[in-house]
């Protein structure tokens, strides 16, 4: 799978099937669109292309209200490639780009750069200046530019799925519901381990891998989670994950994401890991003593091991 600028030259002899959208999270509703585009492209023996946006229109046009994202562009592209997409073409969205007429965008990106023979979108997709492009206009312009338009609902088991709903679940700690809509666990992927305050191992007996995801990515609600960590060598470990301000030690600490990897020993600093969230265990809280905190951490770790063992994630 290739990750290219939207207007990169077309290097294939055939036309393509193009799916267009932000596709944040590549959730189960998105996957219906992508699977349909991939299947159609394979049936006709032509490339399947996804056109997406980075930064997203919301980040550019309303940064104060723009939601944090479920995935980085790189992980989004990786997920699309796993489904069978041949190229992911990225529109570098800007204020200038927002003023481009929808028809001009279709001509420049979808027709001239991607050679679209079919365009697959969500049924409520809008694009271009003043959101002037939609399924109806695409269908009309398809007659002029010689492409078909297919619009699909973003459904999963008959229920409408949206990135907004998934973000709301993640933000309140309901990662299990987020997983159901994503079709995979919510998490952070390829994020480097950074230094924390070194209290976990020395003082508490539970050394943690600390990560600092991009500020563009959403944070789960404060609390303790059961999950897993995948290391660069492909090994999987159960992980008890804390998203919190460490009220036992700080009155108003910064939010940290820390993961204790069960049955792991070694140095992870500077290494990229994948951290997935399976289940919310409990809210963040302070205890009467550090000893009580450590006892609770032991219970959290034991529960994490149970959940990991029934999650379908390969044991290390």
Tens digit of each residue's pLDDT (9 = 90 or more) over 177-193 = 999 999 999 999 999 99
Per DSSP, the residues of the chain read -EEEETTPPP--SS-EEEEES--TT--HHHHHHHHHHHHHHHHHT--EEEEEESS-HHHHH-TTTPPPBSS-HHHHHHHHHHHT-SEEEEE---HHHHTS-HHHHIIIIIIIIT-EEEEEEETT--BSGGG-B-HHHHHHHHHHHT-EEEEE--EETTEE--HHHHHHHHHTT-HHHHHHHHTS-EEEEEEEEE---SHHHHTTS---EEE---TTB--PPSEEEEEEEE-TTS-EEEEEEEEE--TTT-SSPPPEEEEEETT--S--BT-EEEEEEEEEEE-----SSHHHHHHHHHHHHHHHHHHHHTSSPPP-
Q: Please report whether residue 169 resides in a domain.
A: no
For residue 12, the Cα-to-chain-centroid distance in whole angstroms is 29
Domain boundary among 128, 160, 192: 160
Do 16 and 142 lie in one domain? The reply is yes
Do 181 and 263 lie in one domain? The reply is yes
Q: Please report whether residue 168 resides in a domain.
A: no
Do 152 and 231 lie in one domain? The reply is no
Q: Please report whether residue 232 resides in a domain.
A: yes
> Across residues 11-34, what is the average pLDDT?
95
Q: Please report whether residue 316 resides in a domain.
A: no
Do 137 and 51 lie in one domain? The reply is yes
Instruction: State the pLDDT confidence band at 158, using cuts at 50, 70 and 90.
Output: low
> Across residues 188-206, what is the average pLDDT?
77
Please give the positions annotated as active site. Answer: 258
Q: Please report whether residue 11 resides in a domain.
A: yes
Residue 64 CB contacts under 8 Å (≥ 6 apart), including other chains: none
Do 147 and 197 lie in one domain? The reply is no
- Looking at 18-27, 152-161, 211-220, 299-308, which range is the least confident one? 152-161
Do 135 and 223 lie in one domain? The reply is no
Do 156 and 199 lie in one domain? The reply is no
Domain range enclosing 263: 174-309
Q: Please report whether residue 167 resides in a domain.
A: no
Q: Please report whether residue 165 resides in a domain.
A: no
Q: What is the pTM of this model?
A: 0.90
Say yes or no to pLDDT of 145 above 60: yes
Residue 220 CB contacts under 8 Å (≥ 6 apart), including other chains: 170, 171, 173, 175, 186, 243, 277
Check which CATH number belongs to the domain holding 195 and give it.
2.40.30.30
Domain boundary among 108, 134, 160: 160
Do 52 and 120 lie in one domain? The reply is yes
- For residue 310, the model assigns a pLDDT of 74
Number of domains in the chain: 2
- Looking at 18-22, 120-124, 164-168, which range is the least confident one? 120-124
Q: Please report whether residue 111 resides in a domain.
A: yes
Check which CATH number belongs to the domain holding 95 and give it.
3.40.50.620
- For residue 249, the model assigns a pLDDT of 74
Q: Could you tell me which residue, 247 or 109, shows the higher pLDDT?
A: 109
Do 139 and 17 lie in one domain? The reply is yes
Half-sphere exposure of 227 (CA within 13 A, CB side): 30
Do 287 and 179 lie in one domain? The reply is yes
> Across residues 43-48, what is the average pLDDT?
97
Say yes or no to pLDDT of 119 above 50: yes
Percent of the chain with pLDDT over 90: 81
The rounded mean pLDDT for the chain is 91
Do 74 and 148 lie in one domain? The reply is yes
Tens digit of each residue's pLDDT (9 = 90 or more) over 254-308 = 889 999 999 999 999 999 999 999 999 999 988 888 899 999 999 999 999 999 9
Domain boundary among 160, 192, 225: 160
Do 137 and 193 lie in one domain? The reply is no
- For residue 157, the model assigns a pLDDT of 61
Q: Tell me the C-alpha distance between 132 and 99, whole Å.
A: 11
């Amino acid at each position: 799978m290739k990750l290219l600028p939207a207007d990169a030259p077309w290097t294939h002899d055939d036309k393509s099937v193009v799916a267009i959208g932000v596709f944040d999270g590549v959730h189960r509703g998105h996957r219906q669109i992508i699977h349909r585009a991939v299947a159609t492209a394979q049936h006709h023996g032509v490339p399947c292309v996804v056109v997406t946006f980075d930064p997203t229109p919301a980040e550019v046009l309303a940064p104060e209200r723009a939601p944090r994202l479920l995935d980085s562009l790189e992980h989004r592209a990786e997920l699309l490639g796993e489904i069978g997409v041949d190229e992911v073409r990225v529109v570098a969205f800007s204020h200038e780009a927002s003023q481009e007429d929808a028809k001009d965008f279709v001509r420049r990106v979808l027709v001239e750069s991607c050679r679209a023979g079919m365009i697959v979108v969500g049924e409520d997709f809008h694009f271009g200046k003043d959101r002037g492009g939609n399924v109806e206009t695409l269908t009309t312009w398809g007659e002029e530019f010689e492409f078909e338009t297919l619009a699909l609902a973003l459904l999963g088991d008959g229920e409408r799925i949206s990135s907004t709903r998934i973000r709301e679940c993640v933000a309140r700690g309901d990662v299990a519901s987020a997983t159901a809509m994503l079709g995979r666990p919510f998490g952070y992927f390829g994020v480097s381990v950074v230094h924390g305050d070194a209290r976990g191992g020395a003082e508490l007996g539970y050394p943690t891998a600390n990560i600092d995801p991009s500020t563009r990515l959403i944070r789960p609600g404060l609390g303790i989670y059961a999950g897993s960590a995948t290391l660069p060598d492909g090994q999987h470990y159960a992980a008890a994950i804390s998203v919190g301000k460490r009220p036992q030690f700080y009155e108003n600490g910064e939010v940290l994401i820390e993961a204790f990897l069960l049955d792991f020993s070694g140095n992870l600093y500077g290494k990229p890991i994948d951290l997935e969230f399976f289940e919310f265990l409990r809210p963040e809280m302070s205890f009467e003593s550090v000893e009580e905190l450590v006892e609770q951490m032991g219970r959290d770790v034991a529960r994490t091991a149970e959940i990991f063992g029934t999650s379908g994630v390969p044991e290390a």
